[in-house]
Chain A
């Protein structure tokens, strides 16, 4: 009896005590932050990227780039060490809200980095707009993220789909092409790239004769290549990626169109597929925010450091991940690691001038990079830079009210 009473008492005491502790912690969280305690903790970075599936390599390149940036800052951002929480988003839009919720609700990360697939990006946007968590997107080019769905806590270090083709209008005009045909997959990214090109080309007085769409992710192009041959445009502009891009380049050559009707494209058409296509890519000109042979001091240093650290050659995705790290570093340095001063972090990131391997860039009002778009030409296995197609190109950020 006595024993029981004692045990009961102990339990009550214990419960009381723990409630008090919980209360104290809660109160601590409510206090204006910036106390020594908050600063000593590690900064929680949530990496939500594809580590399996078609885009696995892109996820790895982005992660590597990001980690390289941290390493160059001595492993710390704003004086705080970094703790990673990693989620494989599997490039599955259906799982996007659940995955990002894990990071925000369960792990309570300070900043989310992600992701590659545009559909997943839009799934993340919904959740992160509500939670207000700091978010840096190192790839997915969905226009809406820095357009209709934009928010003060949303940042992108890559590109908008619109940007990757907009500068081509000028290029085609300079080559004397008066009309062109655009061919791509019928899905959001393809349509946004088509719009970007159309706007740029029409501004230069060019005419987009026809928009050709292949159902996504089909790779049977023969019917539309025949269509192109019958239209006989001055030029063809294309966007496909990965296996689809490789097949398109080969089919374009096999159909005898290569050399007769010049082919242009968004840079992704010829990125990462040149090993696979033999000479089918040779001479194809594209625009993108990164290229081979930039030959700047920063790019050389980055390439060397990346190759040394990861025993891999960096690509555009690695650059985007690296810049995500640089942007975050700039934001946190300004508030000395006190990430709860969100206004301060955002302000500093907005004002940051990022010294990137791709060249210096800043953020637009909607938080998308204002950057030079390079004209590149496939020479051998490289996308050799030919010059700047558009200096400091900014996404129009249509519909962004934030």
Chain B
């Protein structure tokens, strides 16, 4: 591998890492801050992708589709929180696992009923449908770079929201002591509803803007679910910074793993997770 290709692989790794952060950011919120084990995270990702596909084929524009779909997913998230998740905060994690596993099955079946089992493609917006030549036979799609930009913005926004705003302060306080926050007169129920809906919307948004790259297909959520949990566990529960660091580490490890040690590429990430769990069980940026 000469130096130019090393740099390109570095770019590939970083870009993939940012993509992972985007997909895992919703889980970081819901699992990391609210402490809900949401196995259906991948399903919301899938819902986002299918919404992007069906709305963009209706309206002819991915941007319009995303603008329409985000409010829908926020409503979906709020509704689910009110109807289902609210009743499980005080319960054991096992109940959440059961509920969200059930949701996976429900969403898969609904997807099959509403949208069918076909593979679909979503067109890249015309404005971003270009490539930058890197070498004589390799070029880099502009859309991938654009997604990286969106991921960085999103990461900054989330960090700001949680660390620097009043709402973020209440969220953090609620995460560490729910009863205390409530007795101080803060409507913790409303805050939880909002955070949960935000988490769902983030997962769906990831599916939406990723749809042109990944295509839209059945069980697509299952593929991202596991890697999302790995990101959150390595990064440290409840840490946006940690999720970002973990995403980049995994992105680079996967990219260089596939090129340098292809035989074991499939397990590198999990070995990495095992090492982190032994060395720092609370994750890279987690509170011990």
A222 engages B139 (CB within 8 Å): no
B54 lies within 8 A of chain A by Cβ: no
B219 lies within 8 A of chain A by Cβ: yes
Near B by CB (< 8 A), chain A positions 196-218 give: 212-218
B255 engages A250 (CB within 8 Å): no
Residues of B within 8 A of A219 (CB): 214, 223
Near B by CB (< 8 A), chain A positions 235-272 give: 242-243, 245-247, 250-251, 254-257, 260-261, 272
- Using known A-B contacts A56-B117, A212-B262, A255-B139, determine if residue A276 contacts B215 with beta carbons closer than 8 Å: yes
Near B by CB (< 8 A), chain A positions 264-310 give: 272-273, 275-278
Contacting A56 at CB < 8 Å: which of B112, B139, B213, B262?
A: B112
B119 engages A223 (CB within 8 Å): no
- Using known A-B contacts A212-B262, A229-B135, A230-B5, determine if residue A222 contacts B12 with beta carbons closer than 8 Å: yes
Residues of A within 8 A of B259 (CB): 223-224, 226-227
B131 engages A254 (CB within 8 Å): yes
B12 engages A250 (CB within 8 Å): no
Residue among A56, A229, A260, A272 with the highest chain B CB neighbour number at 10 A: A229
Task: Closest A residue to B141 by CB, please name it.
Answer: A254
B147 lies within 8 A of chain A by Cβ: no
Q: B268 to chain A: closest CB distance in Å?
A: 9
Task: Closest A residue to B53 by CB, please name it.
Answer: A276
B5 engages A243 (CB within 8 Å): no
Residues of A within 8 A of B262 (CB): 186, 212-213
Binary contact track B1-24/A, C-beta < 8 Å → 1, others 0: 110010011001101100000000
Residues of A within 8 A of B218 (CB): 53-54, 56, 243
Residues of A within 8 A of B120 (CB): 275-276
- Using known A-B contacts A227-B259, A255-B141, determine if residue A246 contacts B5 with beta carbons closer than 8 Å: no
Q: Which 10 A-B pairs have the closest CB atoms?
A: A243-B217, A215-B266, A256-B139, A229-B138, A276-B121, A254-B141, A246-B215, A223-B255, A260-B137, A222-B12
B258 lies within 8 A of chain A by Cβ: yes
Residues of B within 8 A of A53 (CB): 108, 218-219
**CA–CA, A161 and B138, complex, Å:** 31
Near B by CB (< 8 A), chain A positions 42-66 give: 52-54, 56-57
Task: Closest A residue to B1 by CB, please name it.
Answer: A230
**CA–CA, A213 and B264, complex, Å:** 10
B254 lies within 8 A of chain A by Cβ: yes
Known: A224-B258, A226-B12. 11 other contacts (CB 8 A): A54-B218, A212-B262, A213-B262, A213-B265, A223-B254, A223-B256, A229-B5, A242-B217, A246-B215, A261-B137, A277-B121
B103 lies within 8 A of chain A by Cβ: no
A102 lies within 8 A of chain B by Cβ: no
B133 lies within 8 A of chain A by Cβ: yes
B215 engages A243 (CB within 8 Å): yes
**CA–CA, A226 and B265, complex, Å:** 16
Residues of B within 8 A of A254 (CB): 131, 141, 143-144
Residue among B13, B16, B258 with the highest chain A CB neighbour number at 10 A: B258
Pick 11 A–B contacts, CB within 8 A, sort by A: A52-B109, A54-B219, A213-B262, A222-B12, A223-B16, A243-B119, A243-B217, A250-B213, A254-B144, A255-B141, A260-B137
B137 engages A256 (CB within 8 Å): yes
Binary contact track B87-119/A, C-beta < 8 Å → 1, others 0: 000000000000000000000110010000111
- Using known A-B contacts A215-B265, A272-B119, A276-B215, determine if residue A257 contacts B138 with beta carbons closer than 8 Å: yes
**CA–CA, A54 and B213, complex, Å:** 19
- Using known A-B contacts A212-B262, A243-B215, determine if residue A256 contacts B138 with beta carbons closer than 8 Å: yes
A220 engages B139 (CB within 8 Å): no
Q: Which residues of B contact A (CB under 8 A)?
A: 1-2, 5, 8-9, 12-13, 15-16, 108-109, 112, 117-121, 123, 131, 133, 135, 137-141, 143-144, 213-220, 223, 254-256, 258-259, 262, 265-266
B133 engages A222 (CB within 8 Å): no
Interface residues of A, count at CB 8 A: 43
Residues of B within 8 A of A261 (CB): 137
Residue among B16, B118, B119, B139 with the highest chain A CB neighbour number at 10 A: B119
Residues of A within 8 A of B143 (CB): 254
**CA–CA, A182 and B69, complex, Å:** 39
A67 lies within 8 A of chain B by Cβ: no
B219 engages A223 (CB within 8 Å): no
- Using known A-B contacts A57-B118, A243-B220, A257-B137, determine if residue A223 contacts B215 with beta carbons closer than 8 Å: no
**CA–CA, A52 and B118, complex, Å:** 13
A232 lies within 8 A of chain B by Cβ: yes
Residues of B within 8 A of A260 (CB): 137
**CA–CA, A275 and B215, complex, Å:** 11
Q: A222 to chain B: closest CB distance in Å?
A: 4
Residues of B within 8 A of A257 (CB): 137-138
B9 engages A223 (CB within 8 Å): yes
Residues of A within 8 A of B133 (CB): 256
**CA–CA, A212 and B15, complex, Å:** 21
Near B by CB (< 8 A), chain A positions 339-354 give: none
